[in-house]
Copies of this chain bind each other. A is one copy, B any other.
Amino acid sequence: MSDFAPVAARLAQSAEANREALFELLRLPSVSADPAHAGDCRAAATWVRDYLANAGCTAELVETGTADAPGQPIVFAKSKPIDGAPTLLIYGHYDVQPPDPLDQWTTPPFEPTVRDGKVYARGATDDKGQMLTHPLALAAWHAAAGGPPVNVTFVIEGEEEVGSDHLDAFLDSHKAELACDAAVISDTSQFAPGVPAICYGLRGITACEVSVTGPKADLHSGLFGGSVANPANALAKLVASLHGSDGRVAVDGFYDDVIPPSDEERAAWGELPFDEAKFLADTGAPSPVTPPGATVLEGQWAWPTCDVNGLTSGYQGPGPKTIVPAKATAKISFRLVPNQDPAKILGAVRRHVEMHSPPGVRVEVKPYHGTPGVRFDTDSAPFDAARRAIEHAFGTAPVMIRGGGSIPVVRSFGELLGCPVLLLGWGQESDGLHSPDEHFSLDAFARGALASARLMWEMAEG
């Protein structure tokens, strides 16, 4: 049995150096959306590769894309192999969101600054700060014990903020080398301050655009109103028909494959310190509105939705303009729960729209992307190890939560590699991800590194 104490000690000793390492990485403006920052992205990739190489890994940059349309390189690294030991796959990203609007930052986005125990910089929490906890953990194991007690593989990409276009191809072509017992992603959040969490499920999504066309051009509503169908009125009827008066989605078969949350889950979520007043203050919504009988968290995590994301029709300027618009469109997305099939749901939506199309207009459904939801079995060695590691590092057992969003890479890992994914977020939702004054608690940064190092130990000991 390897001894964890020297690793923890090493992390404590190098706390100052670890922060300096983070600040170095945060100073690189690796904005993947902006071609002008391609060099900075490569510099960040190189920095991560070198850090991992210095921590005892074989580490390389894997180029992506084509010569004509190059992507950002993926950092691919592996610790010294240990036959028979479990393998952890760490995924993260070194690219960041654009820092705009610059004038809303208190200090410049690429000059990391500490205020009140938090480091402020673009990428502080998303995802440089959270991601780096794992290389730090590896470096501590390397320094204290010559290497971690498990096999650790790193896949750190540089296109997460622009759609991870080249990741699936990389995963596919490196499948054998990526085999693992669990993947770890630290790119989400704790449940609340002081309430660390493991996220074991995410919703999926399917989306489409519904277009209703009538006249070939906008018509004078005086001359023609009352003699032609109005596409905007027709679209409203169509959209309205998607929900019943009970608030449930009225698309035939929509709930067929839904597995409701178990009584145990509902009971556990009921124990979570959900703060409704804070929820209302944060969202500005006058009141929560959930599916029949569901709590807010159940509505967000365990039930599918039908949300209009955008409406466009006719005149949108100030004042009145009395026309019958030629066209009306709605962008509609459906969040799905695990076991619902995006293609099947989209088919049901198409049939619903066809059946409910009024006379005098043409209706078209244009599908967008779809991705299924995921839900991992928490009664497994990796989840047990993660629970213990987090309790060790944060001093309190993590709560088990699901998430309402869809993280395609989680699905990719689950599907392409067949491994459970541990979503271990060290940050907070209030950390300003994608916003000015993004920040990350330095205490969470240190505890995250300790949790990562401990997870390697727990996996080896489990």
Cβ contact within 8 Å between A305 and B226: yes
Cβ contact within 8 Å between A226 and B362: no
Give A335 to B228 CA distance when docked, in angstroms. Answer: 14
Known: A226-B404, A227-B289. A221 touches B307 (CB 8 A): yes
List CB contacts (< 8 Å) of A279-328 with chain B.
279, 283-291, 294, 296-297, 299-300, 303-316, 319-326, 328
Give A43 to B362 CA distance when docked, in angstroms. Answer: 49
Best-surrounded residue of A226, A242, A297 (most CB of chain B within 10 A): A226
A: number of interface residues (CB 8 Å): 84
Chain B residues with CB under 8 Å of A222's CB are: 203, 205, 335, 403-406
Which of these binds chain B: A152-160, A174-182, A211-219, A440-448? A211-219
Q: Does A351 contact B (CB under 8 A)?
A: no
What is the oligomeric copy number? 2
Chain A 208-239, CB-CB to B under 8 Å as 1, else 0, gives 01000011110111111111111011011101
Give A312 to B312 CA distance when docked, in angstroms. Answer: 5
Minimal beta-carbon separation of A431 from chain B (angstroms):
14
Q: Does A12 contact B (CB under 8 A)?
A: no
Give A296 to B300 CA distance when docked, in angstroms. Answer: 48
Cβ contact within 8 Å between B308 and A314: yes
Q: Does A84 contact B (CB under 8 A)?
A: no
Cβ contact within 8 Å between B214 and A311: no
Chain A 183-208, CB-CB to B under 8 Å as 1, else 0, gives 00000000000000000000101010
Cβ contact within 8 Å between A284 and B215: yes
Known: A308-B314, A311-B314, A333-B221. A286 touches B226 (CB 8 A): no
Minimal beta-carbon separation of A31 from chain B (angstroms):
20
Chain B residues with CB under 8 Å of A310's CB are: 232, 313-316, 321, 323, 325
Q: Does A331 contact B (CB under 8 A)?
A: yes
Give A72 to B230 CA distance when docked, in angstroms. Answer: 37
Chain B residues with CB under 8 Å of A289's CB are: 227-229, 358-360
Give A31 to B447 CA distance when docked, in angstroms. Answer: 72
Chain B residues with CB under 8 Å of A322's CB are: 205, 207, 307, 309, 333
Q: Among the listed B217, B226, B333, which residue makes an inter-chain contact with A335, where contact means beta carbons less than 8 Å apart?
A: B226
Q: Among the listed B240, B312, B314, which residue makes an inter-chain contact with A316, where contact means beta carbons less than 8 Å apart?
A: B312
Cβ contact within 8 Å between B309 and A321: yes
The residue of chain B having its C-beta at the shortest distance from the C-beta of A219 within the complex is: B283
The residue of chain B having its C-beta at the shortest distance from the C-beta of A368 within the complex is: B320
Q: Does A243 contact B (CB under 8 A)?
A: yes
Q: Among the listed B324, B328, B360, B368, which residue makes an inter-chain contact with A311, where contact means beta carbons less than 8 Å apart?
A: B328
Cβ contact within 8 Å between B325 and A309: yes
Give A323 to B228 CA distance when docked, in angstroms. Answer: 33
Cβ contact within 8 Å between B236 and A240: yes
Cβ contact within 8 Å between A311 and B309: no
State the A residues within 8 Å of B (CB): 203, 205, 207, 209, 214-217, 219-230, 232-233, 235-237, 239-243, 279, 283-291, 294, 296-297, 299-300, 303-316, 319-326, 328, 330-331, 333, 335, 358-362, 368-369, 403-406, 429
Q: List 16 A-B contacts (CB under 8 A).
A: A207-B322, A214-B286, A215-B285, A221-B305, A226-B299, A226-B300, A227-B296, A227-B404, A230-B307, A232-B310, A233-B308, A309-B324, A310-B314, A310-B325, A320-B331, A320-B333
8 nearest A-B residue pairs (beta carbon): A216-B284, A222-B405, A240-B240, A232-B308, A236-B239, A226-B299, A289-B360, A310-B314
**Apart from A227-B279, A229-B287, A286-B360, what 19 extra A-B contacts exist at CB < 8 Å?**
A216-B283, A216-B284, A223-B404, A225-B305, A228-B288, A232-B308, A232-B330, A233-B239, A237-B240, A240-B241, A286-B361, A308-B314, A308-B328, A309-B324, A310-B314, A310-B321, A310-B325, A312-B316, A319-B368
